[in-house]
Amino acid sequence: TGVLRYRGENGRPRVLGGKEKKAIGQYIRYNNEITLNEIKEKLSKMHHKSVSTSTISRHLHEYGDKNVLPQSTQMLTSDEKQQRVQWAKKHINDDFNTTIFTDESSFQLFRKTVRRWTKNPNQEFKCSPKNRQKVHVWDVISVKGILTCHTFRCNLDGP
């Protein structure tokens, strides 16, 4: 009769329905560091759906979500940097032969490269929580070199 009608979807039906798609969106909004395997387990428990991680990944990419490694943020603000430059200029002629400097650094032990789901990869920055397991290194240096270096795991509490 010359009339074309849409007969529905061709091919295999989609594994993810509306409820599962909505749940995946809620999972990454609640915890954007969730892994594909964790999403898979949640779908299995909550919705009784067996879905592959590649299906979940494909769904997230279709909706504009990307799994990225956040950029590290700079530790010092521009004001703090300026204050350090001023301090250095003020003390440029000081005799540092009898001065020691201390420095400390912390190294996270587990899951250091945490990836996140985001629609804006260039706006993802890493903020590390204080309660992660770490090793701390504290050293003392002078003009003569490193005087001592200590490693410890406990958190130091100031007065």
Where are the chain's structural domains?
A: 1-64, 74-152
Q: Which residue has the higher pLDDT, 150 or 21?
A: 21
Give me the count of residues in the chain: 159
The CATH number of 1-64 is 1.10.10.10
Whether residue 128 is predicted with pLDDT greater than 60 in this model: the reply is no
- Residues 40 and 55: their CA atoms lie apart, in Å, by 10
- Say if CB 116 and CB 124 are below 8 A apart: yes
**Quick one: tokens of 1?**
């009769």
- Residues 88 and 12: their CA atoms lie apart, in Å, by 69
The model's confidence at residue 53, banded by pLDDT at 50, 70 and 90, is very high
Residues 6+ apart with CB under 8 A from 31: none
The model's confidence at residue 129, banded by pLDDT at 50, 70 and 90, is low
Q: What percent of the chain has pLDDT over 90?
A: 19
